[in-house]
Amino acid sequence: MEVTIKLNGKTVSDDVSADMLLIDFVRAHGCLSVKRGCETSACGLCTVLLDGEPVLSCSTLVARADGHSVHTLEGLQDEASEFVGFIADQGAEQCGFCNPGFVMNTIALLRENPDPTDEEILSYLSGNLCRCSGYVGQLRGIRNFLTSRNVEGGSRE
């Protein structure tokens, strides 16, 4: 079957099998930040944004994305660069394997809620598996980013 997807802003058409997963499609088109982890939709490593919403590409058929927009970390570098340093400063990316999934979900969170509480941050990131840091560093990094942004842009209160 033929699918056409806007992948990171570029239209990509390809002939795919009906059972092809979105993870295989994006990786075949050079988006290697999307990783295989558990292959059971439990770790968040394969998170992409489908029409702006985070989805697990290991459990999404590529046919579902036909005619839609898909973004991976490769297409969101400018947006990600705003806060990834804050996460790294907290030692939250010790091995780095889970980082793309966390970054994709943080982008989705901040688009939906630009000033989340700690509970909202943890809830949004709860679908990501990190074996090294236990989420505290990611939370501190995101909180430090939000504090820095509020100081630079003035308080939102």
Q: What are the residue ranges in the chain where pLDDT is below 70?
A: 153-157
Instruction: Give the angle subtended at the CA of 112 by the CAs of 111 and 113, to the nearest 5°.
Output: 100
Do 69 and 103 reside in the same domain of the chain? no
Q: Which residue has the tokens 């059972």?
A: 19
Please give the residue range of the domain that contains residue 55. 2-75
pTM of the model: 0.89
Structure tokens at 51: 């029409």
CA neighbours closer than 13 Å in the CB half-sphere of residue 15: 0
At residue 91, what is the residue type? G
Strand-pair category, 53-56 with 69-71: unpaired
Distance CA 59, CA 51 (A): 16
Per-residue pLDDT at 157: 45
Residues 53 and 93 in one domain: no
Q: What is the pLDDT of residues 47-93, one digit of tens each?
A: 999 999 999 999 999 999 999 999 999 999 999 998 888 888 887 77
The CATH number of the domain where 47 resides is what? 3.10.20.30
Q: How many domains does the chain have?
A: 2
Q: Please tell me the chain's helix, strand, coil percentages from 3-state DSSP, rounded to the nearest 5.
A: 45, 15, 40
